[in-house]
Chains A and B, each alone.
Chain A
Amino acid sequence: MTDSDRDDMLADIRSSLEIASDIPFVVGDEQPLENALAAELFDDPQAMRNRFAEELSAVSADFDVLDDRTAAAKWAGEVLTVDGFNTLVVAEEGLCLDIAKVIQADRPEIEIVVAGDLEGDERKNRLGQPTAALVEVDYALADIGSLVVLRDNTASMLPHFLPESVMVIVRPEQLLANQFELIKILPPDAGRNMVFITGPSRTADVEKVLILGAHGPRRVSVGMLESTE
């Protein structure tokens, strides 16, 4: 690319824009839309949580409420057993690693892999094998059952996408009504590298038959952790 390509393209665009547009559109009062969006907010946190659980179910993700770390370890251990994995990946030190260690104390055969401790190629090759992961996210969205990961808040995003089964710890205070509310509270630069995850990876490219686990996780299990104690 040369500067002239850029300049020529911009000149072409400006020349085209000299012609007044004939695109009809309604000059709308934005208030009705704002009112409609405001009506979607939840007065009751329990109602918001119920909606989140419903939406997760609609996208084939599991939802459980976990009282504390011990309950979280029991829950994650059960998912590991059901899925038949002996390797549990966490992104970094912190809550998930602590929970993983509780599982391991009870089941020494479980291998814990800390993704952030592995170098680039080793990390992706290790996580590219069939494994399960226990991860945290930054926010959750009730109206569509989405989980929100901000890249800059985690040592590794690969545990969210490469393993076959991903267990996600969400805290109640992370739950928001919808994307509009999220965008309002995001720090200015935080959303520049962000992923919304809504259920497991899926495809319907073979005769419109829905199959979970196209290239990413086949299973997404969400545990809402009431207390981090």
Chain B
Amino acid sequence: MDKTPKKIKKYVRQALADMAVRTAVANAAETSVTSRDKIAEGIPYWELVRQKVRSIKKDVLEHLDEYLIEFESNCQANGIEVHWARDGAAAREIVGKIARDCGASMVVKSKSLTTEEIGLNDYLSENGVEPIETDLGECIVQLLGQIPSHLVAPALHLSRQDIGRVFEDKLGVEYTEDPAELTEIARVHLRRKFLSARMGISGANFGIASSGCICVVENECNARLSVSLPKVHVAVMGIEKLIPDMAALPYFLKLLPASATGQKASSYVNIIGSSGRAGSGEGPSEVHVVLLDNGRSRILGDAQLRETLMCMRCGACLNVCPVYRQIGGHAYGWVYMGPIGSALIPQYLGEDEGRYAPSLSSLCCACREICPMEINIPRHLLKLRNNVVRAKKSGFFERMAMKLWAFAAARPLVYRFVTWFPGKFQMLLPGKRAFPAPGYMGRRAIGRFDSKGFAKRFRRMERKND
């Protein structure tokens, strides 16, 4: 992956110049929100379920060490091998070793943001193991050498013509732009891979501590085939994905499909709690779960930002975000995007690499409203912006401008002068123009300083009320 959140400004400029992508993303997001709202409105106790899952997840996070030990112990009792990976490198090595040990030269993968987070595909490719993404959207972006542009709809930014061309080019099939034919091409291509792969890799939507099993939610049946046809199944799971027991699962399954894809229920909910039954002749003979930290325990150590570990990766916050709708997912420069991505990027990648990400938000709070876990993303983005400034990772001119503003704002007379003076000076400009602001006004309008400001309007309103 050659993208980096350090270049967010460049990616944003590129994204804003691409009207086709902007329109595609905005339309798809609007469709998803409409479907989600319809489902949520049909569940009269939606808010009660939100409260319930929030309290469950809060309890899990606050006793995470205990739940992890319980999960590990029950997995082992079920014959599942549990691996602990402190970071992405450790997780990659674990998965790579399992692939080598089972002699896999090709692995089938179901959609997993966690494996994207650790760059597993690149690592496997570099080590002689061909990773095959089997989710249709993931398959398309893999063929294009791109990263997903949405948490649950990776190829959201591509048109059917784009997909037709990449299939023609990479799979050697006749060009078509018919969605049914494109899906059929992928089905035939990937069915051969499913049947011949020795190893399958998945993520996990949930790990169920008291049962020692994982839950993978999907629509295409590719996850089912990835975890049941090969001899070896490896699931890479963030440590925060645990839920206490099976009784908690239906609450999460009420919220996740509705928030992610606007469905009452996903087509397949796979609960996997052991290797294949002895003598049954199918199912993997080995199941491994890799528990990934990769910065999560550090996030857990922040009393406020800990809440971001509640995220189910449903993508609902992306769909309502006015910023995401304009710039799409690639502008964020990493595998997590949208409002939650803006909060996760600096936490996972550090304040230097992720310094611009928290600014990709208008703080309108639509993300908080729609989040099934009610994560207060705007509050966290403010804190993360603050962290960036405190760590002196913001730009020199930005810091100077803020210092000057802070100086003036704390002194009413100075403030009145510095807001009065440009207004008077601006009157000298012909044609009621605003001050030129190179680099800012390309796609925005800037107001004139001699317009009636808040203070003037407020004083007039007060006089009127008197």
Whether A associates with B in a native complex is yes
Asked if B220 contacts A203 (CB within 8 A), the reply is: yes
Can you report 21 residue pairs joining A to B where beta carbons are below 8 Å apart? A1-B83, A9-B297, A10-B68, A13-B64, A16-B297, A23-B61, A23-B310, A151-B277, A151-B283, A158-B228, A161-B221, A192-B212, A192-B213, A192-B271, A196-B269, A198-B265, A200-B267, A201-B219, A202-B267, A207-B28, A216-B268
Q: How far is the CB of A6 from chain B (nearest CB, A)?
A: 4
Q: Complex formed: what's the CA distance from A52 to B194 in Å? A: 32
Question: Which of the segments A42-50, A66-74, A98-106, A176-184 contacts the partner chain?
Answer: A176-184
Chain B interface (Cβ within 8 Å of chain A)? Answer: 24, 27-28, 31-32, 44-45, 48-49, 51-52, 54-55, 58, 61-65, 68-69, 78, 83-86, 90, 94, 134-137, 140, 153-155, 159-160, 163, 179-180, 182-184, 186-187, 190-191, 194-195, 211-213, 219-222, 224-225, 228-229, 239, 246-247, 249-250, 253, 261, 264-274, 277, 280-283, 291, 293, 297-298, 300-304, 306-307, 310, 376
Q: Complex formed: what's the CA distance from A196 to B246 in Å? A: 14
Asked if A1 contacts B94 (CB within 8 A), the reply is: yes
Asked if A25 contacts B221 (CB within 8 A), the reply is: no
Within A17-34, which residues are at the interface with B (CB < 8 Å)? 17, 19-28, 30, 32-33
Asked if A118 contacts B281 (CB within 8 A), the reply is: yes
Known A23-B307, A214-B222, A215-B190: A13·B297 in contact at CB below 8 Å: yes
Asked if B270 contacts A195 (CB within 8 A), the reply is: yes
Considering only CB atoms, which chain A residue lies closest to B291 in the complex? A9
Asked if B55 contacts A28 (CB within 8 A), the reply is: yes
Cβ–Cβ < 8 Å partners of B247 in chain A: 183
Q: How far is the CB of A184 from chain B (nearest CB, A)?
A: 8
Q: Complex formed: what's the CA distance from A195 to B55 in Å? A: 26
Out of B52, B58, B265, B268, name the residue touching A195 (CB < 8 Å).
B268
Cβ–Cβ < 8 Å partners of A55 in chain B: 264
Cβ–Cβ < 8 Å partners of B281 in chain A: 116, 118-120, 123, 156
Asked if A197 contacts B65 (CB within 8 A), the reply is: no
Known A156-B280, A157-B282, A193-B273: A13·B300 in contact at CB below 8 Å: yes
Q: Complex formed: what's the CA distance from A118 to B229 in Å? A: 14
Asked if B136 contacts A203 (CB within 8 A), the reply is: yes
The B interface is mostly helix, strand or loop, or mixed, namely helix
Out of B64, B195, B265, B376, name the residue touching A125 (CB < 8 Å).
B195
Cβ–Cβ < 8 Å partners of B250 in chain A: 178-180, 182-183
Asked if B28 contacts A208 (CB within 8 A), the reply is: yes
Asked if B225 contacts A161 (CB within 8 A), the reply is: yes
Known A183-B249, A191-B271, A198-B267: A1·B90 in contact at CB below 8 Å: yes
Asked if A23 contacts B219 (CB within 8 A), the reply is: no
Within A174-226, which residues are at the interface with B (CB < 8 Å)? 178-180, 182-183, 186, 189, 191-209, 211, 213-217
Chain A interface (Cβ within 8 Å of chain B)? Answer: 1, 5-6, 8-10, 12-17, 19-28, 30, 32-33, 36-37, 55, 58-59, 116, 118-120, 123-125, 128, 143-146, 151-152, 155-158, 161-162, 178-180, 182-183, 186, 189, 191-209, 211, 213-217
Asked if B221 contacts A215 (CB within 8 A), the reply is: yes
Cβ–Cβ < 8 Å partners of B28 in chain A: 207-208
Known A9-B297, A28-B48: A199·B267 in contact at CB below 8 Å: yes
Cβ–Cβ < 8 Å partners of B163 in chain A: 206
Cβ–Cβ < 8 Å partners of B280 in chain A: 116, 155-156
Cβ–Cβ < 8 Å partners of B229 in chain A: 124
Considering only CB atoms, which chain A residue lies closest to B46 in the complex? A36
Known A195-B224, A203-B219: A123·B282 in contact at CB below 8 Å: yes
Q: Complex formed: what's the CA distance from A203 to B220 in Å? A: 6
Known A9-B84, A12-B297, A192-B271: A206·B249 in contact at CB below 8 Å: no
Asked if B83 contacts A192 (CB within 8 A), the reply is: no
Asked if B221 contacts A205 (CB within 8 A), the reply is: no
Considering only CB atoms, which chain B residue lies closest to A156 in the complex? B282
- Most chain-B Cβ atoms within 10 A of its Cβ — which of A9, A116, A179? A9
Cβ–Cβ < 8 Å partners of B54 in chain A: 25-26
Q: Complex formed: what's the CA distance from A214 to B137 in Å? A: 11
Cβ–Cβ < 8 Å partners of A209 in chain B: 160, 179
Q: Complex formed: what's the CA distance from A157 to B228 in Å? A: 9
Q: Complex formed: what's the CA distance from A111 to B267 in Å? A: 29
Q: Complex formed: what's the CA distance from A204 to B63 in Å? A: 38
Out of B68, B182, B187, B303, name the residue touching A19 (CB < 8 Å).
B303
Q: How far is the CB of A119 from chain B (nearest CB, A)?
A: 6
Cβ–Cβ < 8 Å partners of B376 in chain A: 24
Asked if A203 contacts B183 (CB within 8 A), the reply is: yes
Q: How far is the CB of B431 from chain A (nearest CB, A)?
A: 44
Asked if B249 contacts A195 (CB within 8 A), the reply is: no
Cβ–Cβ < 8 Å partners of A178 in chain B: 250
Asked if A193 contacts B213 (CB within 8 A), the reply is: yes
Cβ–Cβ < 8 Å partners of B135 in chain A: 205
